[in-house]
Amino acid sequence: MLNKLFGHWSKDIGIDLGTANTLVYVRGKGIVINEPSIVAVNQKTGKILAIGKEARTMVGRTPGYITVSRPLINGVVSDFEVTEQMLKYFIDKVHQESFTLLPRPRVVVGIPSGVTEVEKRAVEDATYNAGAREVYLIEEPMAAAIGARLPVHEAVANVIVDMGGGTTEVAVISMGGVIASRSLRVAGDKLNEDIVRYLREERNLLVGEATAENLKLTLGSAYPSEEEGEGRVRGRDLVSGLPKEISITSEEIREAMQRSVKSIVLAVKNTIEETPPELTADLINRHIFLAGGGALLNGLDKMIAHETKLFVKIVDDPLTAVARGCGFVLENVDQLKNVLVATQKDDYF
Which residues sit in the known binding site? 19-21, 165-167, 213-216, 293-296
A 10 A CB-CB count for 84 gives 20
Alpha carbons 206 and 196: distance in angstroms, whole number: 7
Q: CB of 170 within 8 A of CB of 181?
A: yes
Residues in the chain: 349
Q: State the pairing for strand pair 21-26/13-17.
A: antiparallel
Q: State the pairing for strand pair 13-17/106-111.
A: parallel
Q: CB of 66 within 8 A of CB of 40?
A: yes
Alpha carbons 193 and 279: distance in angstroms, whole number: 36
Which residues are known binding-site members for ATP? 19-21, 165-167, 213-216, 293-296
Among candidates 8, 2, 10, which has minimal Cα distance to 94? 10
Q: What is the DSSP string of 75-131?
A: TEES-HHHHHHHHHHHHHHHTTTTT-SS---EEEEEE-TT--HHHHHHHHHHHHHTT
Alpha carbons 33 and 107: distance in angstroms, whole number: 14
Judged by DSSP in three states, 11 sits in coil
Alpha carbons 300 and 304: distance in angstroms, whole number: 6
